[in-house]
Amino acid sequence: MTEPGAPAPVPAPKPPEPWHQNLTLVVMSILVLGPLGLPVLWANKRLPLLVKIGATIIVIALTFLSIKVTIGLYERLRSELAQLNASLHP
C-alpha cells in the first residue's frame, strides 16, 4: 500500500511484441517474399487457422500462376528471337 501523497506506482511496460506477430509485417512479408513469407504467416498466433489455410492456398495458386505466365512469356520470347534470327540470316 502506498502512503498518502506518495506518487502512484508506475506499471511495468509491456514487452514489445515479436515482429512476426505484427499483422502488417506478416502481410508485407507475403507481398514481398511470396511463398517464402508463409512461415511468418504460420508463426503468427493471432490469426485463425482458416485464415492461414486460405492465405496459403491463395499464395500457392498465385505462385503457380506466375510461374505458368513466366514460362509462356519465355517461350514466346524464344519464338520471336528465332523468327528474328531467321529473317536476319536467310
pLDDT tens for residues 35-88? 999 999 999 999 999 999 999 999 999 999 999 999 999 999 999 999 999 998
* Side-chain half-sphere CA neighbours of 50 within 13 A: 0
Residue found by looking up cell 508485407 in the block: 28
**How far, in Å, CA of 24 to CA of 34, rounded?**
15
Question: Which position has the higher pLDDT, 55 or 15?
Answer: 55
Task: Indicate whether 4 pLDDT > 80.
Answer: no
Q: What is the structure's pLDDT at 2?
A: 58
Q: Average pLDDT of 2-10?
A: 74
Q: What is the structure's pLDDT at 8?
A: 76
Q: What is the structure's pLDDT at 1?
A: 55
Residue found by looking up cell 505458368 in the block: 68
Spell out the domain ranges in the chain. 19-88
